Amino acid sequence: MPVRNLIFVAFVEPVAEGQVFPRTDWPLHIALVRFDVRFDAGSQDSTDVTERIAGLAGGPATTALGAGLTVGKDAGFGRNGSVPVNLVQPHPALQELHEQLVQAVVDAGGRILTPHHTLTGYRPHVSHQAGTNQAGAAPTSADTEAKRLHPGDAVVLDRIALVDMAPDGDHTIRRILRLWSRDGGS
C-alpha cells in the first residue's frame, strides 16, 4: 500500500498554502506531530486521505490560533544532542492542540512516527536552521549565522499547517497542503 508522509507544524514565519520549500530550508516552525498514513491506491486517492485528516484537524487548529507562547532555553535534540533547538515553554493551548492532532491522526488510521515524543513525552521546540549564502552553500562567516529564535522571544500560534514530507514522491522538497491562519486561511 502507498504511504503519505505528513507532519502538522505551527510556522513562526510567514508561509502560504501550497508553498514548496527544500527539505534543507524549512521556515522556522514548532513540530506538532509527524506521521504517515497508508491508503489503498486501488480504491482511494491520496488526496482524499489528506483531506480527511485536514478535516479532522481543522477544529483543533482553529481553536488554538492566537495562543501566545514564549521561547525557552536552548537545547540539543537528536543523536548526541547534535540538533540545536529552542524549547518552547509549556502552554495548555499548545499541549491540547498537540493531543487533539495526535487523536486526529489515530482516527484517520495514521501511524505516529515518534510515539515516545507525543502526548506526555511531547517537548515543543523550534529547530535552528542553518544559514546559507546566496549560492546556497553553508555559511562561512558570522554574517550568515543560523536562522533561529532566542530565549524570551514571544511567538503567537497564527499559522498551523499540514505539510507533505515528500510531495509526488520527491523527498527533497516539502509542500504545505493546508494552512489554518489568523488572517483567514482554511
- Residue 179: pLDDT over 80: yes
Q: How far apart are CA 100 and CA 103, in angstroms?
A: 5
**Would you place residue 134 in the very low, low, confident or very high pLDDT band (cuts 50, 70, 90)?**
very low
- Residue 164: pLDDT over 50: yes
Give CA 163 to chain center in angstroms: 7
Cβ 10 vs Cβ 178: under 8 Å: no
Query: How large is the average pLDDT for residues 151-173?
Result: 97
pTM: 0.88
The predicted structure's pLDDT at residue 183: 83
At 52-91, the pLDDT tens digits run: 999 999 999 999 999 999 999 999 998 899 899 999 999 9
The predicted structure's pLDDT at residue 29: 98
The predicted structure's pLDDT at residue 128: 94
- Residue 181: pLDDT over 60: yes
CATH homologous superfamily of domain 3-131+148-181? Cyclic phosphodiesterase (3.90.1140.10)
Domain boundaries, the chain: 3-131+148-181
> What is the Rg, in whole angstroms, of the alpha carbon atoms belonging to the chain?
16
Long-range contacts of 37-40 (CB under 8 A, 24+ apart): 37/3, 37/4, 37/6, 37/105, 37/108, 37/109, 37/110, 37/111, 38/1, 38/2, 38/3, 38/109, 38/111, 39/1, 39/2, 39/3, 39/4, 40/1
Query: How large is the average pLDDT for residues 17-34?
Result: 97
The predicted structure's pLDDT at residue 91: 97
- Residue 44: pLDDT over 80: no
Query: How large is the average pLDDT for residues 165-169?
Result: 94
Instruction: Calculate the average pLDDT of the chain.
Output: 90
**For the chain, what percent of residues have pLDDT higher than 90?**
75
